Structure 1
Amino acid sequence: MAAPVVLDLAFTAGAVLPAAPSAAAGLWADGEAGSAPWHQLLSGWLGQLAATLPPDLRAPAYSLGLNLVDDQEIAELNAHWRGQAGPTDVLAFAARDAGLEPPPPLPRWDSSDDDEDRYEDQDNGEAVAPEPLELGDIVISLETASRQAREHGHDLTRELHVLASHGLLHLLGWDHPDDASLAAMLALQERLLT
């Protein structure tokens, strides 16, 4: 298994999440303590995917947001951003979507210093900390995830991981416009989950 990568994770769990799904999700839906397990999981997945990423998505550090919300909030987002009525399970808002301005160049890693990671600013050659590559945001409806977990015959934690992996792959450019693409994406998701 590949080493985890540096990740700046902004994790939130909505203040009005339903009690039963929140309790079933345990630590994964805890707005305070939930950040640590999500950080470890997502960082590990990014490490596993690193070799398969296109060059413009390979970075020494990443940043993303993960938000657990209720059905009402995700339905509002779904209507506003996708023009779809009602709740959905997961939405991914990629920061690097086609048509957006490219981000400024990332600092280059200087591997000549074995004692400490150093990065060289491309403009003046000074060592700087790596700026994380912003991937975007994943939004998961805890209520929909809870219903789907029961329908799929597994626990809520597994369903949250399925949805988070799906959202992460969307942030990294994977999509499923047809059956073949969906099958490939689902196979990659399953690899992450095992």
Structure 2
Amino acid sequence: MTEVINETTYDIDCHEFVLLADHVLTAMHVSTAVELNIVFIEPQPMEELHVRWLDLPGPTDVMSFPMDELQPGTPEKLTPAGTLGDICICPHVAEKQAAEAGHSIAEEMLMLATHGMLHLLGYDHAEEAEREEMFTLQRKLLLTFLATR
């Protein structure tokens, strides 16, 4: 079950993020019975999280907080139900990044949500090989989702 919470003044189509989560979890062979929260927050609370957990200044675009450390499943064996975790997205930062990238803020936030879900499933991008794997998968998942809209 995915819950999307908008604590900002931005107009966000929460249902679209539920559909994205269903798409990503299905593609990653994760039970859609897992609990996932996607929370849109203002810059100040995002900066507080960024400083507290990563000791980095300023707000960032997305942060993921895994709970049960679930991993992707296989077509034969889905990842069981559990608590995947929380994703916090800052639309204010996403808006700036979207303008720089030349696409909509909605597309940027969908990409950030996909990125966050992959982090919750154990993917990382600290090493170049990890980065290549994660960003290729992120691109594939987002493009296949957008193709269904």
TM superposition score category, shorter chain reference:
0.7 to 0.9
Q: Hey, what's the Cα distance between the residues in 1 that align with 2:2 and 2:32?
A: 14
Contact 1:9 1:35 in 2 (8 A): no
Amino acid of the residue matched to residue 46 of structure 1?
L
TM-score calculated relative to the size of structure 2: 0.83
Percent identity of equivalent pairs: 32
Unaligned runs of 5+ in 1: 1-7, 51-57, 99-130
More strand per residue: 1
Work out which of the residue numbers 43, 55, 58 in structure 2 matches 1:86. Answer: 58
* Displacement of 1:97: 4.3
Aligned residue number for residue 146 of structure 2: none
* Displacement of 1:89: 0.5
Work out which of the residue numbers 92, 98, 117 in structure 2 matches 1:168. Answer: 117
The count of corresponding residues between Structure 1 and Structure 2 is 135
Q: What does 1:180-191 correspond to in 2, within 5 Å?
A: 180-191=129-140
Deviating 4+ runs (over 3 angstroms): none
TM-score calculated relative to the size of structure 1: 0.65
Q: What does 1:29-48 correspond to in 2, within 5 Å?
A: 29=12, 34-48=13-27
Rg (Cα) greater in structure = 1
Please give the root-mean-square deviation of Cα atoms over the aligned residues, in Å: 2.0
More helix per residue: 2
Aligned residue number for residue 75 of structure 1: 47
Aligned residue number for residue 13 of structure 1: 6
For residues 107-158 of structure 1, give each alpha carbon's deviation from its aligned partner in whole angstroms, at most 9, with x where no partner exists.
xxxxxxxxxxxxxxxxxxxxxxxx8311000000010000000000100111
For residues 133-185 of structure 1, give each alpha carbon's deviation from its aligned partner in whole angstroms, at most 9, with x where no partner exists.
11000000010000000000100111001100000000001011112211111
For residues 63-113 of structure 1, give each alpha carbon's deviation from its aligned partner in whole angstroms, at most 9, with x where no partner exists.
111000111110001111111111111000001349xxxxxxxxxxxxxxx
Q: Hey, what's the Cα distance between the residues in 1 that align with 2:62 and 2:50?
A: 9
Tell me if 1:135 matches 2:135. no
Amino acid of the residue matched to residue 40 of structure 1?
L
